[in-house]
Chain A
Amino acid sequence: MAKLSMTMDGNTAAAYVAYAFTEVAAIYPITPSSGMAESTDEWAAGGRKNIFGQTVNVVEMQSEAGASGAFHGSLQAGALSTTFTASQGLLLMIPNIYKIAGELLPGVIHVSARAIATHALSIFGDHQDVMAVRQTGCAMLASGSVQEVADLAPIAHLSAVKGRLPFVHFFDGFRTSHEVQKIDLMEYKDYAELLDMDAVKAFKERALSPNNPFFRGTAQNSDIYFQGREASNQFYYDLIYTVEEYMNSMAKITGRQYHLFDYYGAEDSEYVIIAMGSVTETIEQTIDYYNNRGEKYGLIKVRLYRPFSVSHLLEAIPSTVKAIAVLDRTKEPGAVGEPLYVDVCSAYKDVANPPLIVGGRYGLASKDTTPGQIAAVYENLKQSQPKNSFTIGIIDDVTKTSLKTIEGIDVEPEDLKACQIWGLGSDGTVGANKQAIKIIGDNSDMKVQAYFDYDSKKSGGVTVSHLRFSNHPIRSTYLVNNADYVACHNPSYVNKYDLLESLKTGGIFVLNTQWNEEELNKQLPSKMKRKLAKKKARFYTVNAIKIAEEIGLGNRINMVMQGAFFKLTNLLPEDVYIKELKDVIVKMYGNKGEKVVKMNHEAVDQGINAIREIEIPADWIDLKDDDEDKVKEPEFIRKVMRPMSEMKGGELPVSAFSGREDGSFPSGTTAYEKRGIAVNVPEWIVERCIQCNQCSLVCPHAVIRPFLLNDDELSQAPETFVTKKATGKAFEGLHYKIQISPMDCTGCGNCADICPAKGKALIMKPIESQLPNEIPNWEFAIDKVRFKKDLAYGQSFKDSQFMPPLIEFSGACAGCGETPYIKLVTQLFGERMMIANATGCSSIWASSAPSTAYTVNEECKGPSWANSLFEDNAEYGFGMYLGVKQIRNKLEETMRKLNGMNIEDKLKEAFHDWIHYKEDGKLSSKAGEKLLNLLEDFTSTDVEIMNLVDDIKDNKDYLSKRSIWLVGGDGWAYDIGYGGLDHVLASGEDVNVLVFDTEVYSNTGGQASKSTPTAAIAKFAASGKKQGKKDLGRMMMTYGNVYVAQVGIHADNTQLIRALREAESYKGPSLIICYSPCINHGIKEGMGRSMANIKKAVQAGYWHLYRYNPMLRKEGKNPFILDSKEPTESFREYIMQQVRYSSLAKAYPEAAEELFARAERQAKERYSVYKQMAEVEPIEL
Chain B
Amino acid sequence: MNVKDEYNFHGKENKRLGKIEPTNKEGTAAWQNFEGFYKVDMVGKPCEEAVIDAKEWVDNGSKL
A1034 contacts the other chain (CB 8 A): no
For window 1-26 of chain B, which residues contact chain A by CB distance below 8 Å?
1, 3-4, 6-26
| Interface residue from A495, A664, A755, A813 paired with B41 (Cβ < 8 Å) | A755
Question: In the complex, are the beta carbons of A1082 and B33 less than 8 A apart?
Answer: no
Contacting residue for B26 out of A460, A667, A668, A1079, CB 8 A: A460
A1002 in contact with B28 (CB, 8 Å): no
Question: Are the CB atoms of A764 and B24 closer together than 8 Å?
Answer: no
| Residue of B21, B48, B62 with most chain A CB atoms under a 10 A cut-off | B62
Given the known interface contacts A629-B15, A673-B16, A764-B44, the answer about A753 and B38 at a Cβ–Cβ threshold of 8 Å is: yes
* Among A664, A677, A782, contact of B25 (Cβ-Cβ < 8 Å): A677
Cα A236 to Cα B41 in complex, Å, equals: 70
Please choose the segment from A67-75, A554-562, A1154-1162 that sits at the chain B interface, where 4 or more of its residues have CB less than 8 A away.
A554-562
Contact assessment for B40 and A1086 in the assembled complex, using a CB-CB cutoff below 8 Å: no
Tell me the bound Cα distance from A123 to B3 in angstroms.
Answer: 27
With a cutoff of 8 Å between Cβ atoms, the chain B residues found around residue A1087 in the complex are 31, 54
- Report Cα–Cα, A675/B16, bound state, in Å: 9
**Known interface pairs A426-B53, A673-B16, A775-B18; A667-B8 also in contact (CB < 8 Å):** yes
- Is there an interface contact between A679 and B27, defined as CB atoms closer than 8 Å? yes
A813 touches B58 (CB 8 A): yes
Residue numbers in A under 8 Å from B31 (CB-CB): 426, 459, 813-815, 1079, 1086-1087
Q: For residue B22, which residue of chain A has the nearest CB? A: A676
A599 to B15, CA, bound (A): 43
Contacts of B1 in A (CB 8 A): 659-660, 664
A489 CA to B35 CA in the complex, in Å?
21
Chain A residue numbers with a CB within 8 Å of B26 are 424, 460, 677-679, 746-747, 814
Answer whether residue A46 sits at the interface, using C-beta atoms and an 8 A cutoff. no
1/0 contact string of A730-762 vs chain B (CB within 8 Å): 000000000000010011011011010001101
B6: chain A residues within 8 A (beta carbon): 634-636, 666
Chain B residues within an 8 Å CB radius of A424 = 24, 26, 28-29
Chain B residue with Cβ nearest A553: B33
B58 contacts A675, CB within 8 Å?
no
Give CA–CA (A878, B5) in the complex, Å. 28
A633 adjacent to chain B (CB < 8 Å): yes
| In the complex, chain B residues whose CB is within 8 Å of the CB of A31 | 63-64
B60 to chain A, nearest CB (A): 6
Of chain A, the residue at the smallest CB distance from B50 is: A554
Could you tell me the distance between the alpha carbons of A294 and B54 in the complex, rounded to whole angstroms?
54
CB distance from B30 to the nearest CB of A (A): 4
Q: Is the CB of B14 within 8 A of A760?
A: no
User: With A and B bound together, what is the CA distance between A426 and B59 in angstroms?
Assistant: 11
Interface residues of A in 493-545 (CB under 8 A from B): 493, 495-496, 523, 545
**B55→A1079 contact, CB < 8 A:** yes
CA distance A856 to B3 in the complex (A): 13
| Residue of B14, B16, B48, B51 most packed against chain A (CB within 10 A) | B16
Residues of B within 8 A of A1080 (CB): 55, 58-59
A489 → B minimal CB distance (Å): 7
Shortest CB-to-CB span from A600 to chain B, Å, is 11
A492 and B17 contacting across the interface, CB-CB below 8 Å: no
Binds B, one of A427-435, A712-720, A947-955: A427-435
CA distance A28 to B32 in the complex (A): 32
The listed residue (B27, B45, B56) touching A1086 by CB distance below 8 A is B45
The answer to whether B55 touches A1139 (Cβ under 8 A) is yes
Bound Cα distance A1084, B51 (Å): 6
Note all chain A residues with C-beta closer than 8 A to B29.
424-427, 459-460, 555, 814
**Are A752 and B43 within 8 A (Cβ)?**
yes
> Are A1005 and B64 in touch, CB under 8 angstroms?
yes
A426 touches B42 (CB 8 A): no
**Which residues of chain A come closer than 8 Å to B27, judged between CB atoms?**
490, 492, 545, 555, 679
Chain B residues contacting A755 (CB-CB under 8 Å) are 41
Is A680 positioned at the interface, with any CB of B under 8 Å from its CB?
yes
| A1033 sits at the interface (CB 8 A) | no
Q: Which residues of A contact B17 (CB under 8 A)?
A: 631, 674, 775, 779
The closest CB in chain B to the CB of A1000 belongs to B59
Most buried by A among B11, B19, B46: B11
A633 B55 Cβ-Cβ under 8 A: no
B48 touches A675 (CB 8 A): no
> Is A231 an interface residue, CB under 8 A from the partner?
no
Measured between alpha carbons, how far is A1084 from B52 in the docked complex, in Å?
9
Binding stretch for chain B, among A371-379, A450-458, A826-834, A984-992: A450-458
Complex Cα spacing A309 to B58, Å: 44
Whether B63 pairs with A178 at a CB distance below 8 angstroms is yes
Contact B14 A633, beta carbon cutoff 8 Å: yes
- Most chain A beta-carbon neighbours within 10 Å: one of B6, B21, B59: B59
Chain A 1055-1095 interface 0/1 with B at a Cβ cutoff of 8 Å (1 = within) = 00000000000000000000000111111111111000000
Beta-carbon nearest neighbor of A452 in chain B: B63
Cα separation A424 to B12 with both chains bound (whole Å): 29
What CA separation (Å) do A324 and B57 show in the bound complex?
A: 45
Are A671 and B11 in touch, CB under 8 angstroms?
Answer: yes
Inter-chain contacts of B19 with A (CB < 8 A): 674, 676, 743, 775
- Within the complex, the shortest CB–CB distance from A681 to chain B, in Å, comes to 11
State the Cβ distance, B12 to closest chain A Cβ, in Å.
7
- The interface centre, meaning the residue of A428, A495, A669, A1086 with most chain B CB atoms within 10 A of its CB, is A1086
CA distance A427 to B56 in the complex (A): 11
Do A459 and B25 have beta carbons less than 8 Å apart?
A: no
User: In the assembled complex, which residues on chain B have CB atoms less than 8 Å from the CB atom of A178?
Assistant: 63
Contact of B51 among A635, A660, A1082 (CB under 8 A): A1082
Given contacts A671-B11, A764-B41, A1082-B55, is CB(A490)–CB(B64) below 8 Å? no
User: Do B41 and A752 touch (CB < 8 A)?
Assistant: yes
Across-interface contacts of B63 in A (CB, < 8 A)? 31-32, 123, 174, 178, 452, 454
C-beta contact mask, A857-872 vs B, less than 8 Å → 1, else 0? 0101000000000000
Query: Is A119 interfacial (CB 8 A cutoff)?
Result: no
Q: Could you tell me the distance between the alpha carbons of A1019 and B62 in the complex, rounded to whole angstroms?
A: 15
Given A672-B11, A1083-B51, are A749 and B57 also a contact pair (CB < 8 Å)? no
Quick check: B45 and A1088 within 8 Å, CB to CB?
yes
Task: Tell me if A783 counts as interface (CB < 8 A to partner B).
Answer: yes
The docked-state distance in angstroms from the alpha carbon of A705 to that of B17 is 17
Residue from A749, A752, A1078 having most chain B Cβ neighbours under 10 A: A749
Contacts known (A671-B9, A1086-B43); A458 close to B62, Cβ less than 8 A: yes
Quick check: is A765 within 8 A (CB to CB) of the other chain?
Answer: yes
B contact residues around A675 at 8 Å (CB)? 22-25
Q: Which residue of A lies closest to B40 (CB)?
A: A760
Which chain A residues (422-478) contact chain B, with CB distance < 8 Å? 423-428, 430-431, 452, 454, 456-462
Q: How far is it, in angstroms, between the C-alpha of A815 and the C-alpha of B45 when the chains are bound? A: 13
Tell whether, in the assembled complex, residue A634 and residue B57 are in contact, meaning their CB atoms are under 8 Å apart. Answer: no
In the bound complex, what is the Cα–Cα distance between A671 and B9 (angstroms)?
Answer: 9
How distant is B29 from chain A, measured CB to nearest CB, in Å? 5
A680 and B9 within 8 A (CB): no
A431 to B52, CA, bound (A): 14
Q: Are B42 and A775 in contact (CB under 8 A)?
A: no
**When the two chains form their complex, are residues B3 and A1005 in contact, meaning their CB atoms are under 8 A apart?**
no
Whether the pair B58, A1079 counts as a contact (CB closer than 8 A) is yes
Given contacts A1079-B31, A1087-B31, contact A633 B15 (CB under 8 A): yes
Contact at A1089–B43, with CB atoms within 8 Å? yes
User: For residue B8, which residues in chain A have a CB less than 8 angstroms away from its CB?
Assistant: 666-668, 856, 860
Q: List 21 A-B contacts (CB under 8 A).
A: A427-B29, A428-B30, A454-B63, A462-B24, A491-B25, A492-B21, A631-B17, A664-B1, A664-B3, A676-B19, A676-B23, A677-B22, A679-B25, A749-B43, A764-B42, A764-B43, A813-B58, A1086-B31, A1086-B44, A1088-B43, A1143-B52
Known: A492-B27, A675-B22. 12 other contacts (CB 8 A): A424-B24, A490-B28, A492-B21, A554-B50, A555-B28, A555-B33, A667-B7, A667-B8, A775-B18, A813-B58, A814-B32, A1082-B52
Q: B residues touching A (Cβ–Cβ < 8 Å)?
A: 1, 3-4, 6-35, 37-38, 40-64
User: Shortest 4 CB-CB distances between A and B: which pairs?
Assistant: A676-B22, A671-B11, A749-B43, A666-B7
